[in-house]
Amino acid sequence: MEISSDEPRARAAWRVGQFLLFDVGALPYAFLTAQPTWRTHGAQLAELCGVARGQKLLDVGCGPGESAFGMAERVPGLAVTGLDYSESMIRIARFRQKRDRTATHVSFVRGDAMNLPFADGSFDAVTGHSFLYLVPSAEQVLGEARRVLRPGRMCAFLEPRSVPDRPLLPSALRAQAASNPRFVSSIALWRIVSRRYGRWDESRFTRVFEAAGLEPVEARPALEGLGFLLVGRRPLLRSVRDVDWTRWTPTDRATLLFVVDGERVLLIEKKRGLGAGKVNAPGGRTEASDASIRACAIREVEEELRVTPTGVEEMGELSFQFQDGYALHATVFRATGLEGTPTETDEAKPLWVTRDTIPFDRMWADDRLWIPKMLAGEPFSGRFVFDGDTMVDHVLEARQRPA
């Protein structure tokens, strides 16, 4: 049974139950799950998500870390973050990590899976081993999983399947009791606990995953039919509405600065970095040493063209979300003059154009939307979704002139 998120008493009771089950019972639970079969099942979740070396995976409800260790072992170089609400479980996982040679790319965080402490699009995969059936709102957890997944990426969960309780375990599993007692005991306990908390069938899988904004991919029976491997995908972004801008955090912050001298506009042919080969305004990423975003804009012009802009005024802000997970926030400035003569550097080649000859065909697709506003002195704010160089969707609005 899922507990509604608007039932505070039920939620409080659930928290107490979780404390008794996973804080007080942390050591017995760790003992039961510290076995090769559990680790193998955890590794299978990573495979279902299609992750590779150098990517990032979040394992929610990681418990004492056996699944996380199994995934790191199966996919060398995979960065695995284990998250659990239980402080006792996290302590055990970190203790075991010091003694596990495969855990060099594993870290553990205490947190709430219904309110994940990570930015939108932070991970290439999200997994959970025997976790969704325990939470008060699987839809809320899956919604958070969708949010922290990069567009187009997968999540996978191993959950108890809705099948009759008699017998408690099928004969194939009972036959393993002597050779693998901890595994068989953990499955028996799993069956007993899930009888109260709720199990999964294909109908629930489709309904809950879709309600959370995930594409249901597959519900595959496992563990002699007692379990379900549930696989979903975060859809590719189709519009700016697909991004949770209230929790959106840019990967980088940057500036653009246009020197506008009457009818002339100073641009650059960018030589390296994001947008190399395109025409743009001077600019770049902020640095810790910058006193302000305005100071960053001036510094970038000085570094790229060996001139100092004057009469600098903030005109707008742009937020870009890319399908591959990269996110950029850019602040746009306009200057009325400059000191010095623009000079070509390793980063950029100066390019003077007139207002009516701006080479939009050599620029980012969004530039033709907001540059006219900047030239007209109209402050603006824009949000954009890109797939590589292709603009998928945008919203451009007027805003108050910055103080």
Q: Mapped to the 3 state alphabet, what secondary structure does the chain carry?
A: CCCCCCCHHHHHHHHHHHHHHHHHCHHHHHHHHCCHHHHHHHHHHHHHHCCCCCCEEEEECCCCCHHHHHHHHHCCCCEEEEEECCHHHHHHHHHHHCCCCCCCCEEEEECCCCCCCCCCCCEEEEEEECCHHHCCCHHHHHHHHHHHEEEEEEEEEEEEECCCCCCCCCHHHHCCCCCCHHHHHHHHHHHHHHHHHCCECHHHHHHHHHHCCCEEEEEEEECCCCEEEEEEECCCCCCHHHCCCCCCCCCEEEEEEEEEECCEEEEEEECCCCCCCCEECCEEECCCCCCCHHHHHHHHHHHHHCCEEECCEEEEEEEEEECCCCEEEEEEEEECEEECCCCCCCCEEEEEEEHHHCCHHHCCCCHHHHHHHHHCCCCEEEEEEEECCEEEEEEEEECCCCC
Q: What average pLDDT does the segment 228-253 reach?
A: 92
pTM: 0.77
240 Cβ contact list (under 8 Å, min separation 6): 321, 383, 384, 385, 393, 394, 395
CB 393 within 8 A of CB 238: yes
**252-398 and 8-235 share a CATH fold:** no
Residue 329 pLDDT more than 90? yes
CA-CA distance, 57 to 79, in Å (whole number)? 6
36 Cβ contact list (under 8 Å, min separation 6): none
What is the band of 5 on the pLDDT scale with cuts at 50, 70, 90? very low
CA-CA distance, 360 to 280, in Å (whole number)? 9
What is the band of 6 on the pLDDT scale with cuts at 50, 70, 90? low
Amino acid at 121: G
CB 33 within 8 A of CB 45: no
Identify the pLDDT of residue 244. Answer: 86
Q: In this predicted model, which residue has the larger pLDDT, 102 or 243?
A: 243
Architecture of domain 252-398: Alpha-Beta Complex (3.90)
Residue 32 pLDDT more than 70? no
Q: Which tokens is 175 given? A: 């036959």
For 301, left (φ over 0), alpha (ψ -120 to 50), or beta?
alpha
CA-CA distance, 15 to 135, in Å (whole number)? 9
Interval 52-77: pLDDT, tens: 999 999 999 988 888 898 899 899 99
Q: Which tokens is 68 given? A: 């996380």
Q: Which tokens is 308 given? A: 């100092």
Interval 198-215: pLDDT, tens: 889 999 999 999 999 999
Identify the pLDDT of residue 97. Answer: 86
178 Cβ contact list (under 8 Å, min separation 6): none
Domain spans in the chain, listed from the N-terminal domain onward: 8-235, 252-398
Q: Which tokens is 47 given? A: 């495979």
What is the band of 4 on the pLDDT scale with cuts at 50, 70, 90? very low
CA-CA distance, 155 to 58, in Å (whole number)? 9
Residue 232 pLDDT more than 80? yes
Identify the pLDDT of residue 134. Answer: 86
Residue 2 pLDDT more than 60? no
What is the band of 15 on the pLDDT scale with cuts at 50, 70, 90? low
Interval 151-176: pLDDT, tens: 999 999 999 998 887 788 888 888 88
Residue 3 pLDDT more than 50? no
Interval 336-356: pLDDT, tens: 999 999 999 999 999 999 999
Q: What average pLDDT does the segment 74-88 reach?
A: 92
Q: Which tokens is 387 given? A: 């797939």
Interval 117-130: pLDDT, tens: 998 888 999 999 88
Considering the four listed CATH numbers 3.40.50.300, 3.30.70.1280, 3.65.10.10, 3.40.50.150, the one that applies to the domain covering 8-235 is 3.40.50.150
Question: Taking all residues of the chain, what is their mean pLDDT, rounded to a whole number?
Answer: 88
